[in-house]
Amino acid sequence: MYRLLIVFLLVLYSCKEEKPQKEPTLAQKIANAHGIEKWHTVKEFHFTFNVDTDSTSFGRSWIWKPKANEVTMLTKKDTITYKTIKIEQESIKADRAFINDKYWALFPFQLVWDKSTTLTSPIKAEAPISKKQLNKTTLTYPAKGGYTPGDAYDIFYNNNFEIQEWIFREANAKEPSMSNTFENYKDLNGIIIAQDHKKAEGSWNLNFTNIKVITEN
């Protein structure tokens, strides 16, 4: 009886070991390709959000401490620090700016972080700027909630699940509101960030400088 019990336990353990792992979702595959599996080690994320054109230049800097739920915004006029778990009235404007800038910097991770979104099955399609045939999926936000409800993004990515371009469609409009590249990728302690986002024409460039990823290890 004792031997039969040992055999039963060994068979049960073997079955558990051989259980196939669940296939990652498309959102997880894209996020993984940009390093989300390393995010749990991040203590501080520093970056400067810039928009440069021929005649103007705009920038603001951020220090995000995700484990402490703390954000600091640094501009020429102000330095504002607030807690992300409780947004006070005086911090709403800064938080709106942070959500926007962080969204551009870590967009691949938002596919996993934003739980209320929908993501379509991928198809092959022509990218808006490079005109290359890439994989395309569309991310849609619910009609209510958040700072920009109902928005949609057509995401173009390569076979390595790296985002190359996107089309932003405000309130899920049929026509594009903006099309941009994702380029000049940089690996910072395993977090992979597109430093430049350009339009098809002109000198407009949304870019990131002073990027620093401080990890626990």
CA–CA distance, 167 with 156 (Å, rounded to integer): 8
Helix, strand, coil tally for the chain in percent (to 5)? 30, 40, 30
| 89-128 exposure pattern, b = at least 16 Cβ within 10 A, e = fewer | eebeebbebbeebbebbbbbbbbbeeeebebeebeeeebb
User: pLDDT digit of tens for each residue in the chain (217 aa)?
Assistant: 545 444 444 444 444 455 667 899 999 999 999 999 999 999 999 999 999 998 899 999 999 999 999 999 999 888 999 999 988 888 999 999 999 999 999 999 999 999 999 999 999 999 999 999 999 999 999 988 777 789 999 999 999 999 999 999 999 999 999 999 999 999 999 999 999 999 998 899 999 999 999 999 7
**Scanning the structure block, which residue is given the tokens 């402490």?**
68
- How many C-beta atoms lie closer than 10 Å to residue 167's C-beta? 20
CA–CA distance, 61 with 142 (Å, rounded to integer): 29
CA–CA distance, 69 with 212 (Å, rounded to integer): 18
Asked if residues 144 and 110 have their Cβ atoms less than 8 Å apart, the reply is no
Six-digit token pair at 203? 């000198």
pLDDT at 153: 98
pLDDT at 17: 53
Task: Mark out the alpha helices in the chain (DSSP H runs).
Answer: 2-18, 26-33, 92-105, 107-113
Q: Which of 135, 150, 128 is nearest to 197 (CA)?
A: 128
Asked if residues 166 and 157 have their Cβ atoms less than 8 Å apart, the reply is no
Residues in the chain: 217
